[in-house]
Chains A and B, each alone.
Chain A
Amino acid sequence: MRRGLWMIFRWPLLLAVLSLFGLVSALIGDEGYDLFSWLSLGVPLVVTAWVCWRLPRRA
């Protein structure tokens, strides 16, 4: 199947939007804003961890 731009970029776009909101959020306020920032900037880290976890482990 040949993918279009939407199919290729929907996840990267979501991650980018989340990251940008996270970067700005902690600037706006503390506590709730900080928490949102940690969670949203943590998503790329979770995806990275998931990618690494799926890699076949060598003995």
Chain B
Amino acid sequence: MRRVLLILREPFAEPPKAVTDEKKNMTPRTLRNWYLVHKWTSLISTIFLLMLCLTGLPLIFHEEIEHYFEPHPELKPITAQTPAINYDDVMARALAARPGEVARFVFFEKDEPIGAVQTAQTLIPPPDNGHIQPFDARTGEFFDPLPPPGGFMYIMLKLHTDMFMGLPGYLFLGFMGLLLVASLVSGAVVYTPFMRKLDFATVRTQRSNRLKWLDLHNVLGIVTLAWVLVVGLTGVINTLSIPILGLWQAGQLAEMTAPYKDQPPLKSPGSLQAALDTARKAAPDMEVSIVAFPGTQFSSQHHYAVFMRGATPVTERLLKPALVDAQTGELTDMREMPWYVKTLLLSQPLHFGDYGGMPLKIIWALLDVISIVILGSGLYLWLGRRKSSLEKRLAELDAGGLVAEGRA
């Protein structure tokens, strides 16, 4: 009998008969366990998931917001006289503007002829964020440097990714994501007995506020399940980006650069222009996305790692690194990334929602708002239950359908 009472405290007490009907499919004990999984995984993670949903909302539109507050550099029309760009010259000018610094990366934007040079005091963080000088990728002319990171969007990003705590922060939020997955699975399981007597998308509004929100929690949760599951799981994969890149460096990257292992580190890297030419020749149907300088986290001590991207939404994410000997400018190796890096690279768009234009971003935002409602209603239901548990239990006892269950 005690078990029956426990079950009745929990949500499918209404209508109580649903519990009796469960005998064939799920024992009350199994059901109770699934419910407890749903309750505890949700309770532990809700506050962090709410934070992630709230900070994620502006991050969906980070490009648009950043362009609004930091007006985009104007691209001048190019003329026939525009000289061909020489990247050794571009680098010389970038470094001359930053005495005492070294170059870490050169980035190229996807849809616009804009590149950027990142320099910093050291090749390897800290500091995480170097100094960024954007340039016109057709002329090599520099625009104004970006202001140092800070401000609203930076805070949103840090809260959303590592809560300013570095790797432990990433892993903690990844664990919250795993709790979300457990909560979604257990939520779908407890949805089953709940819906035995109800039509899909039933919301009973006449009886009590609590019942209305319980029905809403169920219907919103079940219709957004697949999206939340995918965004949750890809979010978890993203929290592992530091270990995944470490694995790649210690694995494939070390293997590709093994012959250079015992050579002394370079005093200064050779021609970037030569490295770019070599990489473009090695992958003529791809474009340069990022160049990692020798000694940075994404390259070896002796190579430029030129990451190439393809032209379709999938291949533009699946970067392919061409390792170019930084002294001779010759190709050392070019391989596809291992499966775990590919998984990470593909999980990024699926988490960010930035791969289907503005309508997809709006869909992402609306689904994010629905997730906030689901989290909020779950919390409300839990708080509400604690206050009214005794009356509720008595009312439900009174409703009958318990005697058979008590015997079972």
Interface residues of A (CB under 8 A from B): 1-3, 5, 8-12, 15-17, 19-20, 23, 26-30, 33-34, 37-38, 41-42, 44-45, 47-48, 50-51, 54-56
Contacts and interface: CB of A to CB of B under 8 A. Distances in A.
Contacts of B21: 2
A48 B370 contact: yes
A26 B360 contact: yes
A54 B24 CA distance: 34
Interface string B199-223: 0110101000000100010011011
Nearest to B350: A23
Main secondary structure of the interface of A (DSSP, over half): helix
A28 to B, nearest CB: 7
Nearest to B373: A48
B196 A26 contact: no
Nearest to A37: B356
B205 A56 contact: yes
Interface in B1-51: 21, 25
A58 to B, nearest CB: 10
B216 A3 contact: no
A28 B223 contact: no
Interface string B215-241: 010011011111100100000000000
A38 B363 contact: yes
Nearest to B222: A12
B349 to A, nearest CB: 6
Contacts of B356: 26, 34, 37-38
A51 B201 CA distance: 7
B223 A48 contact: yes
A33 B355 CA distance: 11
Contact of B223 (A8, A47, A56): A47
B14 to A, nearest CB: 16
B227 A27 contact: no
B367 interface: yes
Given A38-B356, A45-B363, 7 more contacts: A8-B191, A12-B188, A20-B230, A27-B355, A37-B360, A51-B201, A56-B205
